[in-house]
Amino acid sequence: MSKKTFSVFGGTNREHLISALVPVISIILALIIGAIIIACLGKNPIKGYALLFSGSVGSKSRIAQTLMSACPLIFTSLCAAFAYKCGVFNLGGEGQFVMGATCAIMTVLGFHLEGIVAIVVALLVGIVVGGIWGLLPGIMKITRGLNEMITSIMLNYVAVLFMSWVYTGPFRGGDNPETLPIPDSAQLPRIAKFHVGVILAILLAFFLWYVIFKTSFGFKIRAVGINPIASRVNGFSVGKLMVLSFIISGAIAGLGGSVEILGKQYRLLAGFGVGVGFDGVAIALIAQLNPIGSMVVALFFGMLTTGATSMQVGIMVPTAITEIIRALIIIFAVSGIAMLKLPKIKAVLLPAITGKMTDEKSNDSKKAEVEA
């Protein structure tokens, strides 16, 4: 066996094996507690989970619905993960998502765009506007020393209020507080009942993983996130990298907003994008800021969202059960990650889980010495 164990969690250190188990164990524990709650309600948890599973992946249409439910979560989790890798806390994913969507639909409707031109322009507008909205807290942090968590959260409210003005004001499409729908030709093409934005989100997750863990730029981002002082001593432009990470992070969320408008919602209305940013933060933390892990967790959350209705109809339990499961996953994952930082716990778990691999590594080393 190779002396190094490859990990999508971004390294060859065997400690990543323990880290990779945290989300899995968290999901299992949350599902067990969810089953206990369902049983306490007098229902069959096995049947409930079977309905949850079949309701989310039981047919092509349900798989498509699950993928589209997970799509915005993938974008906002990638937004959070990229910023956090550089040591900055972007809690403005929701605002950047909303601004990207709002400006995208304003561009399509305002300039009467159609076809591929509308799609390309709207996506680019989402990227640019999201990046600018992400730039604002970054600039305020670097130039004025303002806490980026507070400023990014405040900008979320500004974005939502701006969106409300758009769908109740100049772009209102009738009696209801919503905009007119975009033209059919401006909607994202569909493949097997889901829009191509899903594929874009998945490809983006793999691309960001490569950038973060396999490029010199990604190395600088991670170095600043781990130790900005040492990075500055070694000649890295810490301030510029932090601002750039905010811009890229915001652009990812803005792209997600424009994809959601072009691929699923087709119009702005009250409640658009609510909670998607903070869900993305939670998913990124569960995945330990790994882009591929964030994508996987987002897909699981999409399954919970899509399958909740089937479980409710089948065994008459509230859809809030799935919200409880999601909350428990977050609690267990964050707690587990925090516990792994404790030296005593790490000293016990690391040998227990990777002991066999360590022995194999030792044998490989001895064999190499003999051959030498």
**Tens digits of per-residue pLDDT, 124-167?**
999 999 999 999 999 999 999 999 999 999 999 999 999 999 99
Six-digit token string for 368: 């190499």
Q: Which of 105, 102, 100, 106 is nearest to 126 (CA)?
A: 100
Q: Is the pLDDT of residue 343 over 90?
A: no
Greater model confidence, 223 or 5:
223
- The share of the chain scoring above pLDDT 90, in percent, equals 80
Which pLDDT does position 337 carry in this prediction? 82
**Mean pLDDT confidence for 308-328:** 93
Distance CA 261, CA 188 (A): 9
Contacts 24+ apart (CB under 8 A), 38-45: 38/315, 38/317, 38/321, 41/317, 43/315, 43/316, 43/317, 44/315
Distance CA 321, CA 340 (A): 28
Which pLDDT does position 172 carry in this prediction? 92
Q: Is the pLDDT of residue 15 over 80?
A: no
Say which CATH architecture domain 64-316 belongs to: Orthogonal Bundle (1.10)
Distance CA 170, CA 129 (A): 19
Counting Cβ atoms within 10 Å, is residue 190 exposed (0-12), middle (13-18) or buried (19+)?
A: middle
For residues 243 and 90, the answer to whether their CB atoms sit within 8 Å is no
For residue 3, what pLDDT band results from cuts at 50, 70 and 90?
A: very low
Q: Which residues are 55's β-sheet partners? A: none
Q: Average per-residue pLDDT in the chain?
A: 90
Q: Is the pLDDT of residue 223 over 80?
A: yes
Residue 346: C-alpha distances to residues 19, 43, 339 (Å): 11, 39, 8
Task: Give phi and psi for 5, each to the nearest 5.
Answer: -105, 115
Per-domain residue ranges of the chain: 13-43+318-350, 64-316
User: Over the stretch 75-85, which tens digit does the pLDDT of each residue have?
Assistant: 999 999 999 99
In the chain, the DSSP E strands lie at: 190-191, 194-195
Which pLDDT does position 338 carry in this prediction? 81
Which pLDDT does position 340 carry in this prediction? 75
Q: Is the pLDDT of residue 295 over 60?
A: yes
SS3 content of the chain, % helix, strand, coil (to 5): 75, 5, 20
172-75-284 Cα angle (round to 5): 130
Six-digit token string for 231: 């990075």
Which pLDDT does position 363 carry in this prediction? 56
Handedness of CA 99, 104, 110, 111 (dihedral sign): positive
